[in-house]
Amino acid sequence: MTEATEAGWEVDATPVEAFLQALLKALRAAQLYLPNNPVYQTAMANVQKAFPPVWEAMDELRLSVLESELKWEGRVVLSQARAESLAWVLFKDGVRTLTLSPGSESEEVVRLLQVINKARLLPADAEDDLLTLLWEQDFQYIRYDAIELAADDQPQLDKLGEEQAVDAVAPQTVREAAEEPEPERPSGVVKLEDFDSTLYFLDEKDVNYLRDEIEREYQQDLRSNILSILFDIVELQSFPTVRAEIITIIENFIPYLLGVGDFRAVAHLLRELRVLVDRARELLPEHRQVLTDLPARLSQSEAVAQLLQSLDEAVVHPSEEDLGALFRELRGEALETVLDWLPRLTNERVRELLTAAVQRLAAAHPDELAKALANENPAVVIETARLAGRLRLAPVVPALGGLLIAETPAEIKVVTVEALAAMGTPGAMQQLERAVDDDERDVRISAVRVLGARGHRAALPRIETAVLAKGLKGADLTEKMAFFEAFGLLGGPDMVRHLRPMLQTGGFLKKKNDPETRACAAMALGKIGTEDARQALEEALQQDKDPLVRNAVGKALREGR
């Protein structure tokens, strides 16, 4: 936090930055609360406590004022957006330096904050400005330097007796003019200015200023502002009874925010709670526990179910960004409830929004996704398996493999095979080996096709046993074709010696294989694609007259090319 100044010595800006942060909080407290409010009093006390470290490091604090920054010793110590900047309030009225000396902490700094807040609220056509208000305070320990402003930015000086406008007017002259009382108006005489009550009497820049301020006012997030005030009270006010009351208000505020669909504010609340628990001083254990448990309570099954039901029935839906912000703050235990609700949602738009949100939640909590695979509801298990496949979450692979057991329904097994296939990792292929001997036909076919296409040679012994040991007896043509093609893909050229005899039509006293087996052998040889395999296929094309076999041989030869 140190930098070299132009003189070459090191300066520590930490006390100055800490003082300015305390000053900003006090400025906000002065704007929101009355002087008898405990939050106001605590904020002002914090500002006064920030002065001693500054005086230990320097004799006086001299700040340079820019449009949106305050600098000390050439270093930016405060930077804010122009619309709400403390620097801008000073800069726009000509203040370029602000110097505080020891003694200003007693009461003058409080008066300075009140003047700044008052200057913020002055209308565009007000006779006073910040310089006038500062001059009225007659500070002894606070000094400021101001520059001359252009004549078109100053009030007309006709009342000072000037015969012509000047290019620049010193702010001191303006303050002297502001002090002179207006001449007494004769009885019965009125001024046109008394009736300037419509926008037609305003300058264009005044109209634009009012329009911008109104737009800024309507764009403010009022609920977030309210939450910030509540958090400030909990942080600054150490009385247990006060904190207990505010915590109750926050708890009751959450259902309201969810009811009106302000998910962004709920996400903001949950994020700020984590910061508040760390920063609040002397927080009682029971209060800390309540604040810490709020995200977990929102993630419970009943709360999440009510949220999803209201979303499904709502006419106006939140944006994907707002809903995603809320789900990022929920705990992993909410995942299972959301997966249970996804198939039941009737609103397609809500389903799309939740799909994107639940994917982020699952990616952050893969362990909870694995727990959801053990759910008793088949719909939840199917939805979870599909989600795991889309996200390709490796930690979920063992749990998916556990579904490939005899007691699992066939529809879940098929979805599980598809999920493992989508992952495509060696671990996923190893789990798929279980499905080669499964009792369900569709499961066996899906698994064998994936293993063959992925080239997982570890599955070859199981597939070879089924092909050579008559394990496919009674299987239909589709299943036989899947096993034979995987046999050719995984076995390679070494399997030609097994497939060639199967393809032959037989001879004297030799048993002839059925057409389906010969056709499957031809397709397997086509997958191998070597010269020996091609030669066997060409011999079969000349000798075999069965249409099924000839079609299979022709297709295999085309694939071999």
Residue 363, CA atoms < 13 Å, CB-side half-sphere: 12
Greater confidence (502 vs 260) lies with 502
Report long-range pairs for 363-368 (Cβ below 8 Å, ≥24 apart).
363/391, 363/393, 364/328, 364/332, 365/331, 365/332, 365/335, 366/393, 366/395, 366/396, 367/332, 367/395, 368/332, 368/333, 368/335, 368/336
Greater confidence (460 vs 561) lies with 460
Which SS3 state, helix, strand or coil, does residue 143 take?
Answer: strand
Q: Mean pLDDT throughout 493-503? A: 86
What are the angstrom distances between the C-alpha of 346 and each of 317, 322, 343, 441? 14, 21, 8, 33
Phi, psi at 34, each rounded to 5°: -80, 160
Alpha carbon 510 to its chain centroid, in Å, reads 72
Residues 6+ apart with CB under 8 A from 381: 372, 373, 374, 375, 403, 412
The phi-psi region of residue 426 (left if phi > 0; otherwise alpha if psi is between -120 and 50; otherwise beta) is alpha
Q: How far is the C-alpha of 369 from the C-alpha of 103, rounded, in Å?
A: 62
**What pLDDT, on a 0 to 100 scale, did the predictor assign at position 557?**
85
What is the tally of helices (H) and strands (E) in the chain? 27, 9
Q: Is the pLDDT of residue 48 over 80?
A: yes
Q: Mean pLDDT throughout 488-504? A: 86
Q: Is the pLDDT of residue 258 over 80?
A: no
261: confidence class by pLDDT, cuts 50, 70, 90: confident
Q: What angle do CA 74, 76, 77 make, to 5 degrees?
A: 115
**What pLDDT, on a 0 to 100 scale, did the predictor assign at position 156?**
39
Q: Is the pLDDT of residue 494 over 80?
A: yes
Residue with tokens 């066997």: 536
**What pLDDT, on a 0 to 100 scale, did the predictor assign at position 560?**
63
DSSP 8: S
Give the best-scoring range by mean pLDDT among 242-256, 343-357, 411-425.
411-425
Q: Mean pLDDT throughout 61-65? A: 90
DSSP 203: -
Q: Is the pLDDT of residue 103 over 80?
A: yes
**What pLDDT, on a 0 to 100 scale, did the predictor assign at position 187?**
60
Residue type, 116: I
What are the angstrom distances between the C-alpha of 536 and each of 195, 314, 470, 522, 525? 107, 67, 22, 9, 8
Q: Is the pLDDT of residue 84 over 80?
A: no
Give the best-scoring range by mean pLDDT among 74-78, 144-148, 345-349.
74-78
Residue 398, CA atoms < 13 Å, CB-side half-sphere: 4
Q: How far is the C-alpha of 344 from the C-alpha of 385, rounded, in Å?
A: 17
**What pLDDT, on a 0 to 100 scale, did the predictor assign at position 99?**
92
Per-residue pLDDT of 106-163, as tens digits, reads 888 888 888 888 888 877 777 778 888 888 888 888 988 888 665 444 443 333 333 3
* Beta strands per DSSP E along 88-210: 95-100, 142-146, 149-150, 168-169
Give the best-scoring range by mean pLDDT among 5-14, 122-131, 367-376.
367-376
Structural contact between residues 536 and 496, judged by C-beta atoms closer than 8 angstroms: yes
**What pLDDT, on a 0 to 100 scale, did the predictor assign at position 82?**
62
- Beta partners for residue 98, in sequence order: 63, 144
Q: Which of 92-101, 462-471, 489-498 has the lowest mean pLDDT?
A: 462-471
Q: Is the pLDDT of residue 543 over 70?
A: yes
**What pLDDT, on a 0 to 100 scale, did the predictor assign at position 94?**
85
* Helix or strand holding residue 278 (H, E): helix 263-279
**What pLDDT, on a 0 to 100 scale, did the predictor assign at position 171?**
46
Q: How far is the C-alpha of 530 from the C-alpha of 224, rounded, in Å?
A: 71
Q: Is the pLDDT of residue 4 over 50?
A: no
Per-residue pLDDT of 219-240, as tens digits, reads 777 777 888 888 888 888 888 8
- The 10 Å Cβ neighbour count of residue 455 is 12
Q: Is the pLDDT of residue 321 over 50?
A: yes
Per-residue pLDDT of 520-536, as tens digits, reads 888 888 888 888 888 88
Q: Is the pLDDT of residue 189 over 80?
A: no
Residue 486 structure tokens: 């995987």
Residue 32 structure tokens: 């929101």
**What pLDDT, on a 0 to 100 scale, did the predictor assign at position 199?**
47
Closest CA to 428 of 470, 457, 460, 393: 393
Please provide the average confidence, as pLDDT, over all residues in the chain.
Answer: 80
